[in-house]
Structure 1
Amino acid sequence: MELFLDVLGESLVDTAKMLPFLFLAYLFIEYVENRHGERIEAILAGGGRWGSVPAALLGCVPQCGFSAIASNFYASRVISLGTLMAVFLATSDEAVPLLVSMPAYWDKLVLLMVIKVLYAIAVGLVLDFVLRGVLPRSLRGGYTGSVDEIDCHEEHSDEEGKPAPIWKAALRHTLEIFVFIFVFSLVFGLIVEGVGEDVFADALGRMGFFQPVVAALVGLIPNCAASVLLTQLYVEGALRFSSLVAGLCTGAGVGLAVLWRANPSWKQNLFITGLTWAAGAAVGVGIQIVVAIFG
């Protein structure tokens, strides 16, 4: 009981320190999405074969809404496969506001976002230009649908159809993530204290080369809890930075779930899911190799 109370108190204090940063981060996110959402959608839909560039920049905005929008656009053939993948790989869901709430990790956050955006652009351009002739025409997407047929703003309105106050949405997101982080911190702390920190770290460390591959699989879970889990494991020292990048590159939030619901071809959806995992695992392993060579 004494161990439980100690871990409980420590988890509560550590998590409570993040609340002001989390709320301000979500307030900014809600402002951007509500005041500039339609303009952002227009940019995403009008990018053509160069759509991966604005898609990666927009995708790095820390919320899963854009990945859902991109999935709807792809299912209606408004955007290309490269644009869709750029959004998926750049999306970081809850990881950004979580790291923003920890000033000690701001330098890692900047590095993380730069890697994700540049990698997302590169993968998108390769798909839309280099591999365009290899991919089946039905998989390429783009240029045949109409953006006017898609409504992506339902969840931002109240019961009467009026825009919901941004502070309420920001507060709701903050409290939801607060609960996620607190529960994870409590469970993780109890596990580490129970089995021993050295044993736990050694188990993850033994994954070696495969740690980013496993992290990329975790990132595919269509829930913000996956990005919270990966980020917390990294902060606790259980995951390497390369594994964090791998997991967050595949962490497209609800984007993959929306794709499976909106796109009628299960073969295309399976290919895109596998491609997302492979791309995330590849960049994680690549970073790991670079670090091993250059230290």
Structure 2
Amino acid sequence: MDVLLDALIDSLKMLPFLFAAYLMIEYIERRQGERIEAALAGGGHWGFVPGALLGCVPQCGFSAMAANFYGSRVVTLGTLMAVFLATSDEAVPLLLAVPEQWPRLAALLGIKVVLALAAGFCLDIALRRFLPEGVRGGYTGHAGEVDCHEQHEAQQGILRAALAHTLNIFLWVFGFSLAIGFVMEWVGAEAFTGFLAAMGPLQPVFAALIGLTPNCAASILLTQLYLSGSITFSSAVAGLASGAGVGLVVLFKANPSVKQNLFITGLLWAIGAAAGLLLQLLGL
């Protein structure tokens, strides 16, 4: 009962902040969606710059958009990777819901933007000629041929959509908080955190694997583990960097080459894990 009440109270504290965050997200998606698509598709070899910035908007729809564009050869590999690495899915609203974590949220977004820009520059500028021609992307296709907009229910207003999204994520947060609480109660908090801590340098590698799960549940789980003190900030960055939301699912659907898709997935995991290991070495 104590675990249940603690999970419920902690989750309820987030509700006002979550609702405010999703109101903003819905507004951006509906009012600026077409401009964002145009900026992403029109960037050329420097598309990774708007990709890194737009990917920070806490909404996995942009990673799906980038995957669609890459499958149609509208954007380059660097732009796709920049969006994937910058995408934080539900982590941003969850951290916004905890005011004392705002400095860490700013650090997270800053690190992910730098990482996305660096990866995009390497793939599209510095190392482009070393990549197989088929994987580079950005050759043919037109943005107008790709439908990336999420479909909302007819006549559904921003308030209703934000409320529905807030309640959905609230249930995820409550579920994970409850699960983590029961695990800690069953095996003991020290044993649970000790198991994750015992991974040492492998913890970011493990977190990056979790991040590859093509669902918003991965970013929620990683954020909850970080907030509970079970994983370090560097591991959270590793998992959230490799996490592209539903982007990987859309990539495998939109891009016919399985080899290219597996290469991109492996590269995404490797960059996320390497970033986490580097931050760990720096003591962050």
Q: TM-score range by the shorter chain?
A: over 0.9
Matched, 1:128 2:117: no
Q: Which residue of 2 aligns with 1:264?
A: 256
- CA-CA distance at 1:194 after TM superposition: 1.5
CA contact (8 A) 1:34 1:156 kept: no
TM-score, with structure 1 as normaliser: 0.95
**Which residue of structure 1 aligns with residue 57 of structure 2?**
61
The answer to whether structure 1 residue 224 and structure 2 residue 212 are counterparts is: no
Q: Distance in 2 between matches of 1:214 and 1:197?
A: 20
Q: In the alignment, does 2:32 pair up with 1:72?
A: no
Name the counterpart of 2:199. Answer: 207
Contact preservation (8 Å) 2:61, 2:150: no
Partner of 1:22: 18
**What corresponds to 2:178 in structure 1?**
186
Residue matched to 1:13: 9
Task: State the AA in 2 paired with 1:17.
Answer: K
> Is this contact kept in 2: 1:44–1:55, CA < 8 A?
yes
Q: Which amino acid aligns with 1:100?
A: L
Q: Summarize deviations over 1:53-76 as a string: whole Å, max 9, x none.
A: 110000000010000000000000
Residue 31 of structure 1 corresponds to which residue in structure 2?
27
> 1:249 matched to which residue of 2?
241
Contact 1:91 1:252 in 2 (8 A): yes
Please give the TM-score of this superposition, normalised by the length of structure 2.
Answer: 0.98
Q: How much is the aligned-residue C-alpha RMSD, in angstroms?
A: 1.0
Q: Secondary structure at the match of 1:153?
A: coil
Q: Give 1:233-248 correspondences, 5 Å limit.
A: 233-248=225-240
CA distance in 1, matches of 2:56, 2:127: 24
Paired residue type of 1:275 = L
AA matched with 1:24: A
- The residue that corresponds to 1:45 in the other structure is 41
- Can you list the C-alpha shifts for 1:206-249, whole angstroms capped at 9, x where unaligned? 10000000000000000111000000000100000000000000
Q: CA deviation at 1:13?
A: 0.9
Q: Output the amino acid matched with 1:210.
A: L
Structure 2 residue runs of 5 or longer lacking an equivalent are none
Unaligned runs of 5+ in 1: none
Tell me how far 1:144 sits from its aligned partner: 1.3
Task: Give aligned-pair identity as a percent.
Answer: 63
How far the C-alpha of 1:152 sits from its partner, in A, is 1.4
Is the Cα–Cα contact under 8 Å of residues 48 and 143 in structure 1 kept in the other structure? Answer: no
